[in-house]
Amino acid sequence: MRTITAYFDTVQAAEQAGFDLAKGVPGVRGQVFDTRNADRLDNLYLPEGDAALVREGFRRGGGIVYAEMPDERFDEVANALEASGAIDLDTREAEWRKEGWTGSTTAATGTTTAITGASAGTGALSGTATGDQAQRLGAAGEERIPIVEERLRVGKREVGHGRVRIRSYVVETPVQEQVTLHQERVEVERHPVDRPLTAADEALFQERVIEATETAEEAVVAKEARVVEEVALRKTAEERTETVRDTVRRTEVEVDDDRTATKTSADMPKRDPGVV
């Protein structure tokens, strides 16, 4: 069994790397350590120099991913952590020392060698485990590992897509029509006459009145309002089904039972993180 420890500049990056490792290398689970659980760092049995670097990284907001795997899967795990952006601690140490950090990186000697050096090309601390690195049970005889999973919650909200407004107003437009008008005129004409008076003309010595009336037609304008069109504003409603896609995460545990020399998944029901 081998172990690997990869450093990341942010806790978020370390958590994402652990998630990506679980997806990319089935059967290998990475534990994330940061300033929140730095007291458990001693359980990894890191050499004193490496532990000092890691603790300084924690102080600067970083985190590590620690994983155990069979020898034949070491390269696969190292490549996965490298793809997630693992940082070369030797490079970071040089940068920190330029900034004035004077922490100790002297490796401690002991009977257990958990992590040694850096894996070539991965930027992650790596080594071969030869001792028992599991966390010991407390005085109560029990330790618990929480199983966490994300669930997708889909809600609804109303979003305005604009509005339609109809406004009526009056527009005056000049129009014209042609009409034929009748007009009568009265004209008076006098003609010189020179002829003898006849018997028929004797009545002319009586008073007579002749009248004629002039008439003329004039245009009379009247207006009639008529409804020629209607504009209706109507709102309709419809239902549609939309598929919401996202990614949810969950943690899994594996039980390494030395009594049977087999590795099995924890006996816990797996749930489909569906939409709730």
d(CA 122, CA 143): 33
**Nearest to 274, CA basis, from 239, 246, 233, 235:** 246
What tokens does 80 get? 């996965």
State the distance between the two ends of the chain, measured CA to CA, in whole angstroms.
40
Query: So what's the pLDDT on residue 137?
Result: 54
**Nearest to 2, CA basis, from 103, 115, 94:** 115
d(CA 41, CA 47): 11
Query: So what's the pLDDT on residue 273?
Result: 46
Residue whose structure tokens are 């527009």: 171
Query: So what's the pLDDT on residue 207?
Result: 77
The answer for residues whose C-beta is within 8 angstroms of residue 253's C-beta and 6 or more apart is 29, 145, 147, 265, 266, 268
Query: So what's the pLDDT on residue 249?
Result: 85
Annotate the chain with three-state secondary structure: CEEEEEEECCHHHHHHHHHHHHHHCCCCCEEEECHHHHHHHHHHCCCHHHHHHHHHHHHCCCEEEEEEECHHHHHHHHHHHHHCCCECHHHHHHHHHHCCCCCCCCCCCCCCCCCCCECCCCCEEEEECCCCCCCCCCCCCCCCCCCCECCECCCCCCCCCCCCCCCCCCCCCCCCCCCCCCEECCCCCCCCCCCCCCHHHHHHHCCCCCCCCCEECCCCCCCCCCCCCCCCCCCCCCCCCCCCCCCCCECCCEEEECCCCEEEECCCCCCCCCEC
What tokens does 11 get? 């806790």
Per-residue pLDDT of the chain (276 residues; tens, 9 = 90+): 788 999 999 999 999 999 999 988 888 888 999 989 988 888 888 888 888 899 999 999 999 999 999 888 899 999 999 999 999 888 889 999 998 888 765 443 333 333 333 333 334 444 433 334 445 555 566 777 788 888 877 888 788 778 888 888 898 889 898 989 899 888 888 889 888 877 777 666 777 788 889 899 898 888 888 988 888 888 888 888 888 888 888 888 888 777 754 444 444 455 554 443
The residue count for the chain: 276
Query: So what's the pLDDT on residue 139?
Result: 57
Query: So what's the pLDDT on residue 63?
Result: 93
**Nearest to 57, CA basis, from 108, 5, 127, 119:** 5
CB 255 within 8 A of CB 264: yes
